[in-house]
Amino acid sequence: MAFWLFFTAMDLLIPAIMVGFGRRFLKHPPKTINALYGYRTARSMKNQETWNFAHETCGRLWVRLGKLSFLPALLAAVLTFGRGIETVSVVSVVVVTIQTLALIGSIFPVERALKRNFDDSGRKRS
């Protein structure tokens, strides 16, 4: 039971982080461009306007993806309750892998939105 509980908590960790940081980026994004905290890509760090836009876009996306990721994680937990260690482990690894791919994959729509809204120098498109 403790093993199942641990892996259920781990499966819910990435969605919780996505929702938490998504909300943080929407309500209290990093004020200035920095190298330590925030959505940091070459395109998002061009200027303050791209920085703010990237955090708003990423924040909205992470909140949505995080909430969507909770459901499969809870479903996996319910379906593996009372199963053996090997079954719980395999299902948990699959769930976390999919969540991690969604987290990493969120870079692409944010970068696409930046490219659509700003030119290569970081100026807003008209």
pLDDT per residue as tens digits for the range 22-80:
999 999 999 999 989 999 999 999 999 999 999 999 999 999 999 999 999 999 999 99
pTM tops 0.85, yes or no: yes
Alpha carbons within 13 angstroms on the beta-carbon side of residue 55 total 22
Res 126 pLDDT > 80: no
- The ranges assigned to domains in the chain are 2-29+40-117
Per-residue pLDDT, averaged over 2-18, amounts to: 91
| Per-chain mean pLDDT for the chain | 93
**Which tokens is 79 given?**
């379906």
- Cα separation, 6 vs 55, in Å, equals 32
How remote is the C-alpha of 58 from its chain's centroid? 8
111 vs 4, which has greater pLDDT? 111
Q: At 58, which amino acid appears?
A: C
Burial 50-81 (b: 16+ CB within 10 A, else e): bbbbbbbbbbebbbebbeebbeebeebbeebe
pLDDT at 1 over 90: no
Q: Is the pLDDT of residue 95 over 90?
A: yes
Task: Please state, in angstroms and rounded to a whole number, the distance separating the CA atoms of residues 72 and 75.
Answer: 5
How far is the C-alpha of 63 from the C-alpha of 57, rounded, in Å?
A: 10
pLDDT of residue 56: 97
